[in-house]
Structure 1
Amino acid sequence: MSFAPQIKIPATYMRGGTSKGVFFKVDDLPEAAQQAGHIRDQLLLRVIGSPDPYGKQIDGMGGASSSTSKTVILAKSSQPDHDVDYLFGQVAIDQPFVDWSGNCGNLTAAVGSFAISNGLVSAERIPENGICTVRIWQVNIRKTIIAHVPITHGQVQETGDFELDGVTFPAAEVQIEFLDPADDGEDGSAMFPTGNVVDTFEVPNIGTFQATFINAGIPTIFLNAEDIGYAGTELQEAINADAQALARFETIRAYGAKQMGLIQDVSEAEKRQHTPKIAFVSQPKAYTSSSGKDIQTGDVDLLVRALSMGKLHHAMMGTAAVAIGTAAAIPGTLVNLAAGGGAREAVRFGHPSGTLRVGAQAVQESGQWVVKKAVMSRSARVLMEGWVRIPEDSLKS
């Protein structure tokens, strides 16, 4: 009996923010996978080790969580005044599909570093020492992101003293600017797809809730923690060990996706796990983070817990942080009210691993809210580089 040999593909394994992913240059992929489609998806599934009925991704690069089941494909930008095109694929763990419906804000912090180190940024734009401004075109959501990457002696600086809750070791700070992060719409209501900053939201057989639906950074459904029986101080175990709670969140998310116009029928949510996100907010309370760090009431403006790919996230998704900062800046949203209401340009929120600060500039134009940009700091580091190997027959159509 003959068996298909393994092929090797140049790749880099990177941490960006509180996520990890496998990074590729598009022209390093096998020719059949350089275009979007079934073969590309098959390749990425095999690289990550999905679908895995055991939920562990032992036979691949994935880490069995939404934060580590991620892939990135980069190329020199096809857009004017941009350096790199960034395409993100969220790989399902136990199902055979890759979700291309949104961005990963955490891995964005690694995109600039990879682009500089792999020749995707023109040499004349890279200082000998200082900050390299990398202009990123985010292909999934068709938005511009600016990464400010520190450079020392002409090389990307990865080590430093910047600490990010949810990441064990300090590293160099990378500031990320999400320009015009809200969804585009001719009627001006796309950031709030229902046209309201708060809606009364009915979910059959579950209940009726107040909700803020927002398209900024990533489509997100915000609920009040107390309305769904939580304090807002919960850590992962409190929710991820409760199968009934997870099922209820998924049902709410599915109906929310329909309310936002992202799907036509709630059954479609099963194939759209990456978006929208669902999160719940509360006023500040003291709690102990997953690392044992004591968070005091005065340390934060509000508490936020968010789910990703069906599980409570261990920290906070970068794109959801953009949604939080944007919603906090707009009076009357549930996020803004949990933070005390009123106008604000920045917010510090508590998440399961600690705290995070995110800023957003929101203004009213012609009676509609517009967000010019959202800003936060992350860090990134190369963990391994070389080749990944997959069986050759993974590329069969």
Structure 2
Amino acid sequence: MRKIPCVLMRGGTSKGAFILAKDLPENIEERNEILLSIMGAGHELEIDGIGGGSPQTSKVAIISPSSHPDADVDYLFAQVMVQQRQVDTTPNCGNMLCAVGPFAIEQGLIPATDPVTQVRIRNVNTNTLVDAEVQTPDGIVTYDGDTTIDGVPGHAAPVALTFLNACGAKTGHLLPTGNITDMFQGVETTCIDMAMPMVLIAASSLGKTGQETPQQLDKDKAFLQRLERIRLAAGLAIGLGDVSEKVIPKPVLLAEACHGGTLSTRYFMPHHCHKALAVTGSIGIATATTLAGSVAAKIINQDKTVRFLRQIVIEHPSGKIEVNLFNDGDKPETIRASVVRTARKLLSGNVYIPECETK
């Protein structure tokens, strides 16, 4: 058996393996085979690996000292499919991102300062920079605190994330089709690329209320097929080509808020409904609410483009997430976004895989 040093961590509402890049092969095909074996991909329960049988718990963060002059560490996110033996490194994951700072500090990649350590992270998937504020009293990472986030039981230390240049993360454009709205399969959409490429759709246009549970949506096969047709058309329109084997763009249903928030969302990953909401998804959705004429702005009756500090509260199946938007410039492309999440170290040691699966 081959052993690889590994830390299992919860980041926000996701969970996955954190591994130093130096402990994995540089060859991408060899590396991906190891990740598939680590997580147990190819089985609905991932019974022969440490994956949890869900897209939210079948994730890997690969960390190294940064080669970027303005960053401390590099973070490569890998989404390991559950039932398919496939690894996708095209998207970012903002939930896993919030555990990168604590991991990097404890691995000695960056010195800790008292009481807070700021870690600048470069997401290699999208070549974007994020500042993470990690609680380090007496120079030691603490996971204990009073901060709570919906979708996670209990409370923990806050990790503040500020996305510095998330606009056009994968396509180079905030509105990658050049339009505020586009029609796909007869349905009005807004394609936006802010931290994560997404295609935003009013739930009502697909015969949904936007308040359905993830389980209800996942059981509606006809709806999922229609949603996928829209996603595939959007992928072509925003320049990503055939996205049938990619997890981006993410399709998102939007609806009016029911619990005091700004609006309600159901976020897909892309073929299963998220039980909460991706951090990167929340940033794109929040930004879309500021753009007059977008699907999101129409739902909240926002008829002018907003360019000032604003807090957006997004409802999701497990509760809410707050996104603070800042704009130092005069264009939507200069928007910066911040969120507060929590992380927890669950297990550290070695993960074992059969030697034959790494050859």
TM-score if structure 2 supplies the norm length?
Answer: 0.95
Q: Which secondary structure does the structure 1 equivalent of 2:243 belong to? A: helix
C-alpha separation between the residues in 2 aligned to 1:336 and 1:22? 37
**RMSD over aligned Cα, in angstroms?**
1.7
- Give deviations 1:1-38, integer Å, cap 9, x for gaps: xxxxx111100000000000101011123xxx1x1411
Q: Which residue of 2 aligns with 1:288?
A: none
Letter of the 1:48 counterpart: M
Contact kept in structure 1, 2:127 and 2:169, CA below 8 Å: no
Letter of the 1:209 counterpart: V
- Give deviations 1:333-374, integer Å, cap 9, x for gaps: 211222331436221011000011112234775xx5313311
Q: Shift of residue 180 of structure 1?
A: 1.5
Match of 1:210 among 175, 188, 199: 188
C-alpha separation between the residues in 1 aligned to 2:354 and 2:279? 33
C-alpha separation between the residues in 2 aligned to 1:179 and 1:326? 14
Letter of the 2:86 counterpart: F
Q: Which secondary structure does the structure 2 equivalent of 1:180 belong to? A: coil
C-alpha separation between the residues in 2 aligned to 1:12 and 1:359? 30
How many residues align structurally? 355
Q: Which secondary structure does the structure 2 equivalent of 1:12 belong to? A: strand
Q: Which residue of 2 aligns with 1:317?
A: 278
Letter of the 2:341 counterpart: R
Q: Which secondary structure does the structure 2 equivalent of 1:167 belong to? A: coil
Contact kept in structure 1, 2:126 and 2:170, CA below 8 Å: no
CA separation of 1:333 and 1:381: change in aligned 2, threshold 3 A: same
Q: Shift of residue 325 of structure 1?
A: 1.7
Greater gyration radius: 1
Q: Which secondary structure does the structure 1 equivalent of 2:55 belong to? A: coil
- The answer for unaligned runs of 5 or more in structure 2 is none
Q: Which residue of 1 aligns with 2:256?
A: 283
Q: Which residue of 2 aligns with 1:72?
A: 61
Match of 1:43 among 29, 34, 47: 34
Match of 1:98 among 87, 112, 133: 87
Q: Which secondary structure does the structure 2 equivalent of 1:157 belong to? A: coil
- The answer for unaligned runs of 5 or more in structure 1 is 1-5, 286-295
Q: Which residue of 2 aligns with 1:349?
A: 314
TM-score if structure 1 supplies the norm length?
Answer: 0.86
Please list, as runs of the form range in 1=range in 2, the aligned pairs for 1:1-397 lying within 5 A after superposition.
6-29=1-24, 33=25, 35-52=26-43, 55-121=44-110, 123=111, 126-128=112-114, 130-183=115-168, 190-199=173-182, 201-203=183-185, 208-263=186-241, 268-272=242-246, 274-285=247-258, 296=259, 299-341=260-302, 342=304, 343=306, 345-362=310-327, 365=330, 369-396=332-359
Q: Which secondary structure does the structure 2 equivalent of 1:314 belong to? A: coil
C-alpha separation between the residues in 2 aligned to 1:185 and 1:64? 27
Q: Shift of residue 185 of structure 1?
A: 9.7
Contact kept in structure 2, 1:329 and 1:346, CA below 8 Å: no
Q: Which secondary structure does the structure 2 equivalent of 1:153 belong to? A: helix
Contact kept in structure 2, 1:253 and 1:278, CA below 8 Å: yes
C-alpha separation between the residues in 2 aligned to 1:158 and 1:83? 21
Q: Percent identity?
A: 34
